[in-house]
Structure 1
C-alpha cells in the first residue's frame, strides 16, 4: 500500500518594496502561511493578509504595523541592523524550512541595488529543494534548480538567465530550445524566447536558471 503523500505547503513572503497589487493578492492561494520581511508587514496588513511571522531588523516597518502585529499574535523575529543578510534573505531562510513552494510579493520597486540583491538571493542553493517564484508587478521570476514547468500559454515571452555562474539547461516548448547547452551569465543568449506550447519545460543539470516572464 502506497503511503499517503504529505500535502504541499505554500508560504507567501511579503517584501518591503512596492506594495503588491490587488491582482496579485487575488491570485494567492487561499489561507497561505505569510512571512513578512520588515516593511512587508505594512504591505501585508494593508492587503488584509494574516501574518504568521515578521522577520528583519525592523528599521523600516511602521510602529503602528508592528504594534498591531504584536497584538494579533504574529511572531516577531528581530535581527540587529548590523547584519550580513537582507531582510528578504532572512524571510526566505525561514520560509524554505516551512514550505514546498514560496511566492515572493512586494519585492519590486524601490532601490535598484535591493532588486539586484533580491533576484540573486532567490537563486541561493540553500533552498534548492523549494519551488520559488517572485511576482514583480509587471513580471514573474521563476527559479529553476533542477526542473520546472512554466504555467504560461503559447505566444508568451520568456527570458532565461544564469545566476551565480554558468548553467547547463535543456528546454522544450520554446521557439529557440536549449539542448544540454550552457547559458553564460555574462551574455544575452536567453533573452526574449517565445513559448510555442502550453507548460514549456526547463531542466537544469548544472547551475541555476531564472526564468523571467514579462506581463503585458
Structure 2
C-alpha cells in the first residue's frame, strides 16, 4: 500500500501532484491540505486537523465532500501532521510520501524532519519507506546497511547528512565523489552535493542514522 499525505505548508513548495495522482495510493489531507487536494481533483481517504487555516466556507466544502474527518482542537500536544502520520504508520504502508511539510515556518520544518527519526518509525524500516517531498527536494532516512540509489535527472544532487552524532563506515560507489569506509560526524559537510555518475549508485554504512536528500538547483 502507498499512502500520500498533503500537509498545509505553502502551496508554492508543493510539487505537481498530477505526477503522483497516477499511483495506486490512498491520499490523506492535513488541515488546509485537505482543501488543496479537493481543488486538485483528489478526494482524500481521511482528513486530519484543527482546520484553523481554512475559512468557514472552505471547511463546509470539505465536510460536504468527505465523511472521514478527524477534527481536533487547536490546543493539543501533537501537530496536525504528526496525528496524520501516526494514523498512516498504523496502516503499515510500503511507501509513505509526505507533501506540504516544508517551507514557511522553520520550527515546523525541523519538527517534520525529526519525526522521521522517531524510533517507532525507524523500527518499521525497511518495511515502510517514508519520504518528505517538495518541488526541489526528496528526503528520506536510512539505517545501517547497503542501499541503492537510481539516477534521477531532475534531482541531480545527492547529500548524505548524519542524523546521529556519528555515522561510521560510509562507502559511496557510482558517485562523482566516492568514499570508502569514512566516518563523519554531525555537522560535517563532507557528503553534501554529491552526484550520481552511473545509472545506479550504492551507499553503505555500519553505524548511525543517515538522512539522504536529493535536490535540484
Determine if contact 2:52/2:74 at 8 Å carries over to the other structure: yes
1:132 CA displacement: 1.0
Residue deviations 1:38-95, cap 9 Å, x none?
1211221222211111112322233334323322334122333232322222222111
Determine if contact 1:157/1:214 at 8 Å carries over to the other structure: yes
Residue of 25, 38, 41 corresponding to 2:34: 41
Give the TM-score of the pair, scaled to structure 1.
0.82
Residue of 102, 125, 139 corresponding to 2:137: 139
Determine if contact 2:116/2:130 at 8 Å carries over to the other structure: yes
Residue deviations 1:108-157, cap 9 Å, x none?
22112211221222332322222011212122212223554333248922
1:22 CA displacement: 8.4
| Unpaired stretches in structure 2, ≥5 consecutive residues | none
Determine if contact 1:37/1:91 at 8 Å carries over to the other structure: yes
Residue of 76, 81, 85 corresponding to 2:69: 76
Looking at structure 1, the residues matched to 82 and 143 of structure 2 have their Cα atoms a distance apart, in angstroms, of 17
| Counterpart for residue 192 of structure 1 | 193
1:202 CA displacement: 3.2
Determine if contact 2:43/2:65 at 8 Å carries over to the other structure: no
Cα RMSD after superposing both structures: 2.6
Give the TM-score of the pair, scaled to structure 2.
0.82
Looking at structure 2, the residues matched to 22 and 84 of structure 1 have their Cα atoms a distance apart, in angstroms, of 26
Determine if contact 1:14/1:35 at 8 Å carries over to the other structure: yes
Looking at structure 2, the residues matched to 63 and 165 of structure 1 have their Cα atoms a distance apart, in angstroms, of 46
Looking at structure 1, the residues matched to 148 and 54 of structure 2 have their Cα atoms a distance apart, in angstroms, of 36
| Counterpart for residue 152 of structure 1 | 151
| Counterpart for residue 101 of structure 1 | 95
Determine if contact 2:15/2:133 at 8 Å carries over to the other structure: no
Looking at structure 2, the residues matched to 79 and 191 of structure 1 have their Cα atoms a distance apart, in angstroms, of 39
Looking at structure 2, the residues matched to 164 and 90 of structure 1 have their Cα atoms a distance apart, in angstroms, of 25
Distance 1:77 1:22, change over 3 A: closer
1:158 CA displacement: 0.7
Helix, strand or coil: the match of 1:207?
A: coil
Moved more, 163-172 or 86-95: 163-172
| Counterpart for residue 52 of structure 2 | 59
Helix, strand or coil: the match of 2:111?
A: helix
Is 1:126 the equivalent of 2:123? no
